[in-house]
Amino acid sequence: MTRSLRIAVVGSGPAGMYAVGHLLETPGLRVEIDVYERLPTPWGLVRAGVAPDHPEKKQIIERLFHLYIDRPEVRFFGNVDVGTDVQPDELSSWYDAVIYATGASGDTRLGIPGEDLPGCWSAREFVAWYNGHPDQRHLPVDLSCERAVVVGNGNVALDLARILTAPIAELEKTDIADHALHALRQSKVREVVLLGRRAACHGAFHNPELEELGQLRDVQIGVDPDELPNDSSAVMDSADWVTRRKIQTLRVLSQRAAAHAGKRIVFRFLASPVALVGADKVDQLRVVRNRLERDAGGEFRVRPTEQQSLLEAGLVLRAIGYRGCPFPGLPFDDRGGVISNVRGRVTGAGAVPADSYVTGWIKRGPRGIIGSNKKCAAETVGCLLQDHAAGRLTPAGKNAEEVAAELLRRRPDLVDHNGWRAIDRVERLAGLVQGRPRVKMVDVSGMLACAAG
Ligand code: NAP
């Protein structure tokens, strides 16, 4: 009988777990998979990125990933930092192949004065804060201001606007981190302004997420009707039906009257911050009005005008995109913010650890919904299996027991599948008492104690 193919998957977020799923579901393939995770808890952005007021989405995906990780062919090695505790070239020699699914752990910057003032955070930091990611639990978020500004017009920007304005009673039913719930209970934020650098028809948000804003109780949505193009305008000439739907939704939202509008979400299009102003924390943004201009290829581009204004805000969130970070020992394409690869095979000048593959945002950039990772992982796993069939993979140099023993020697506090299940049980039980899906543990030492206990 042929031996099992031994694969390491680095990262247990959606990208890594869909790769695990594809490997498990490949007919006739005998496989042993070790999933490495820096945190004691799995699921990456499903746990620490998906908005807490989207519980159904989380539950469906988590259930699927549990089906994968509970399989006897799969082991979980949590609290192991690849790049620190174990190096890529070691993994390459221990396994037949390694799939890196490490996501985008950095963020795009505005590149304007004042960006580093306290009170200006990236969406990645803020989302991780309210979702209880251990790295951001101490982010000094101050919600004592009346106005917050979110820069960017993508789905993440809408998530932030919703969480900042949602009725607290709604958030109390979710798995939002307790520290964030406490801060949001005391919040003085009454208005969230969304700044889009281009026009309404160029918003990167999706229509269902836009429509969801209309379901927020007691929140008025402000859209200046003059900012919405009419159907016969030049910008709408080339617009597809998706764009037309979004404009229609914005029109409906602008006409909707909230019964007791205690809070407001305001869309401002064709507006970019040029500086953040404040002595020891952000107090104001200087905003420039943009205009649209067609380039030689007929594409609309924004150009700043002379028109500038000041906007008071004590909290500024940059929701202008995540960014992949270099991974020690692997070639990096700085322009794309991805590990250099061709269809998921890691490639590059110089020494590349053998039999290395990538999937997810670190392969293709920070774009797409969670489900997009399924197709992406299928391509990567397809390439890996082609290489296996062609005899191109260097055989694994350690068996399963040898790898576990070596990892335990380096990380005695490694969290295995049972350890994660113990954390999961305690979180769910705490949630049950409060009528919530779970109450998240947010500090690593508590998680480790729970896993060990
Ligand atoms: P995104 O969709 O790429 O949107 C980024 C936004 O930032 C765009 O409006 C972009 O404007 C703007 N922007 C970029 N650079 C800027 C700058 N220098 N100044 C001002 N604005 C700037 O990114 P995202 O919102 O972070 O979302 C990442 C991915 O996750 C997306 O694919 C998204 O759909 C997905 N996601 C999905 C959900 C969901 O399904 N519910 C939730 C969250 C995230 P331009 O268009 O002009 O470049």
pLDDT by position in tens, the chain (length 453): 678 999 999 999 999 999 999 999 999 999 999 999 999 999 999 999 999 999 999 999 999 999 999 999 999 999 999 999 999 999 999 999 999 999 999 999 999 999 999 999 999 999 999 999 999 999 999 999 999 999 999 999 999 999 999 999 999 999 999 999 999 999 999 999 999 999 999 999 999 999 999 999 889 999 998 889 887 777 777 788 899 999 999 999 988 876 677 899 999 999 999 999 999 999 999 999 999 888 888 888 899 999 999 999 999 999 999 999 999 899 999 999 999 999 999 998 778 888 999 999 999 999 999 999 999 999 999 999 999 999 999 999 999 999 999 999 999 999 999 999 999 999 999 999 999 999 999 999 999 999 998
Span from the CA of 9 to the centroid of ligand 1 (angstroms): 27
Look at residue 399 in the predicted model and tell me its pLDDT.
Answer: 96
Residue 264 to residue 253: CA distance in whole angstroms? 12
H or E element, residue 419:
helix 417-434
Where, residue-wise, is CATH 3.40.50.720 in the chain? Answer: 5-105+324-452
Beta bridge partners of 219: 263
With a 6 Å cutoff on the Cβ, whether 154 touches ligand 1 is yes
With a 6 Å cutoff on the Cβ, whether 320 touches ligand 1 is yes
Look at residue 299 in the predicted model and tell me its pLDDT.
Answer: 81
- Return the closest-CA partner of residue 165 out of 122, 200, 214: 214
* φ, ψ for residue 42, nearest 5 deg: -90, -175
Look at residue 236 in the predicted model and tell me its pLDDT.
Answer: 76
Residue 118 to residue 399: CA distance in whole angstroms? 49
Provide the Cα torsion 152, 154, 160, 165; round to 10°: 90
Residue 23 to residue 97: CA distance in whole angstroms? 12
Q: Which CATH class is domain 107-322?
A: alpha beta
Q: Are strands 338-339 and 332-333 parallel, antiparallel or unpaired?
A: antiparallel
Q: Topology of 5-105+324-452 in CATH?
A: Rossmann fold (3.40.50)
Atom in ligand 1 nearest the alpha carbon of residue 198: 47
- Token pair, residue 32, equals 């042993």
Token pair 């190096």 in the structure block, residue = 87
Look at residue 1 in the predicted model and tell me its pLDDT.
Answer: 62
Residue 213 to residue 261: CA distance in whole angstroms? 13
Residue 26 to residue 385: CA distance in whole angstroms? 9
Query: Three-state DSSP class for 159?
Result: helix
Residue 302 to residue 214: CA distance in whole angstroms? 29
Where, residue-wise, is CATH 3.50.50.60 in the chain? Answer: 107-322
* Inter-CA distances, 183 with 111, 163, 172, 421, Å: 29, 12, 12, 29
- Return the closest-CA partner of residue 374 out of 109, 22, 77: 22
Look at residue 453 in the predicted model and tell me its pLDDT.
Answer: 86
Out of 45, 153, 289, 303, mutate this one to test ligand 1's pocket (max ligand atoms within 8 Å of CB): namely 153
Look at residue 2 in the predicted model and tell me its pLDDT.
Answer: 77
Q: At what angle do helices 178-185 and 123-130 cross, to 10 degrees?
A: 100
Atom in ligand 1 nearest the alpha carbon of residue 372: 32
Span from the CA of 137 to the centroid of ligand 1 (angstroms): 24
Contacts of 28 (CB under 8 A, 6+ apart): none
Span from the CA of 123 to the centroid of ligand 1 (angstroms): 10
Residue 23 to residue 416: CA distance in whole angstroms? 20
